[in-house]
Amino acid sequence: NFRKVKRVHDVVETFSKINKEIKSKLLLIGDGPELQDAKEQIKSLGIEDNVLFLGKQDKVNTFYQMSDITLLLSEKESFGLVLLEAMLTGVLPIGTNAGGIKEVIKDGITGYTVDVGDTDLASKRAIDLLTDSELYNKMQQAMIQDVKERFSSKVIADQYENCYINMLGD
C-alpha cells in the first residue's frame, strides 16, 4: 500500500544501502498515491535495475517464498499482518517500533525492529542477516516456532473463546 504512513521512501532508502553491499533485488507489491514518488526516488538513486514493481497482487505467498527478508517501515501500523504472512513462509522481518509491529516481531529473536526513519540501522540489520547464515537460520527457527506458538488459528480461537466466556461469566 503506497501511502505516506507506510514510508515507502524509507524502504527504498534502506534497500539502496543494502544493495551497495549485497547484490539484491527489491520486490514492491501494491499500488497507491506514493507509487510515482517511489519510482522517482528509485531512479534518482540509480537502482531501477534492481527494483521490481509488481503492482497489486492477490496471492503474495509466491513472492514471500522468493524473499529472504521483508521490510515494513511504517510510521503507524495497527498489527502488521503482512509481517505475519511473510513470517509464516519463513521470511525474516525488519520493521519499525510503530504500533502493532513490535507485538509481532521479538526484536533480535524473531526479526528486528528499528525506530521510524532509521534506515541506517534497518540496512545494517538486513546486511547482518543476509551475510551470516548461522544468525539467519537461528533467528528463522525461533521465528517459525514463535509464530506457531502465538499466532496459530487454534491459539487465536482459544483466546476468543476465553474472552466470550469471561464476558458471559461462569
pLDDT average, residue stretch 99-103: 92
Print burial letters for 33-52: b (CB count within 10 Å at least 16), e (below 16): ebbeebbebbeebebeebbe
Q: Given pLDDT bands bounded at 50, 70 and 90, which one contains residue 170? A: low
Residue 75 contacts residue 96 (beta carbons within 8 Å) = yes
Q: Is the pLDDT of residue 47 over 80?
A: yes
CA distances from 84 to 36, 56, 81, 144, 169 (A): 27, 19, 5, 10, 32
pLDDT average, residue stretch 78-85: 88
Least confident of 10-24, 101-115, 142-156: 142-156
Long-range contacts of 65-69 (CB under 8 A, 24+ apart): 65/89, 65/90, 66/27, 67/27, 67/91, 68/92, 68/129, 68/130, 68/136, 69/93, 69/94, 69/126, 69/129, 69/130
User: Which position has the higher pLDDT, 127 or 162?
Assistant: 127
Query: For a pLDDT cut of 70, what percent of the chain falls above it?
Result: 96
Q: Is the pLDDT of residue 70 over 80?
A: yes
Residue with cell 538513486: 45
Helix/strand/coil for 81? helix
Q: Given pLDDT bands bounded at 50, 70 and 90, which one contains residue 166? A: confident
Q: Which of 81, 74, 68, 123 is nearest to 95 (CA)?
A: 74
Q: Given pLDDT bands bounded at 50, 70 and 90, which one contains residue 155? A: low
pLDDT average, residue stretch 42-56: 97
Q: Is the pLDDT of residue 25 over 90?
A: yes
pTM: 0.89
Q: Is the pLDDT of residue 159 over 80?
A: no
